[in-house]
Amino acid sequence: MRFEKIQGAMDALGTAVAVNVMLALTAAPLIVLLMFTDAFATWPLVALAAVIAAPGLTAAFTAFAHADENTFRAFGRGYRATWRRASLLALAVVAIAVVLLVDVRFFADGPYAQAAMVVLAVTGALVAGTGLLALVAIADEPGIRVRDAVRRAAWFGVHRWYLTLFSLVALVVFAVVFVNVPLLALSALASPVFYLAWTNSRHTLHPEPVSADVRA
């Protein structure tokens, strides 16, 4: 029993390290831009890099779901199966995020700045939460249509907002650590944080598994 626990811990550690490596590789352009450039000055490239990095997340979620398999093989299979839908979803989310940031700058000095900031912050959280849940849905069911994944994600994300908020808080904490200590975030925290977001998001999408049969 003790040996099995040790073996299980070693397997989990190996999976975490492998996922960290693959996430770093698939998100390399985004990481380089965030670490070595002014993201506000290079935001078009950052936005493009974020879209490119998105399939790495669905691939990581696939690897988490098939922890009994070779992590690199499961990651690669997940990447091949989901990269088109994940990229399309990320493109839509990033486009909305850009519009929201433009609105923030536009309303920042206006007479209704405080109310506008609240509305924009809530909208941003809804978009981010829906995007995360939709990525998990795509990883679970690679054949699902993007709009079906978004619809399901939006429905359960709002109805179980507390779970969605928990996932977003975990990702925000990771982002803060990345900004201050990028090496620690990439080497030790990426896999655990995204695993937490994945498991929590799957629970949010419960009770029914995501299916391609969900239609407009």
Domain-by-domain residue ranges, the chain? 2-205
Q: Which two tokens stand for residue 49?
A: 């890099």
Q: Which two tokens stand for residue 215?
A: 């239609």
Contacts of 125 (CB under 8 A, 6+ apart): 165, 168
Is 0.85 surpassed by the pTM of this model?
A: yes
Q: What pLDDT sits at residue 216?
A: 36
Q: Is 152 left (phi over 0), alpha (psi -120 to 50) or beta?
A: alpha
Closest among 33, 16, 23, 65 to 188, alpha carbons compared? 16
Q: Is 146 left (phi over 0), alpha (psi -120 to 50) or beta?
A: alpha
- Residue at 66: amino acid letter: H
Query: Any idea what DSSP says for residue 54?
Result: H
**pLDDT tens sequence for the chain (216 residues):** 554 555 555 566 778 889 999 999 999 999 999 999 998 899 999 999 999 999 999 999 999 999 888 999 999 999 999 999 999 999 999 999 999 999 888 888 777 888 889 999 999 999 999 999 999 999 999 999 999 999 999 999 999 999 999 999 999 999 999 999 999 999 889 999 999 999 999 999 975 544 444 433
For residue 29, the tally of other CB atoms under 10 A from its CB is 15
Q: What pLDDT sits at residue 209?
A: 47
Q: What pLDDT sits at residue 148?
A: 96
Q: What pLDDT sits at residue 6?
A: 54
Q: Is 172 left (phi over 0), alpha (psi -120 to 50) or beta?
A: alpha
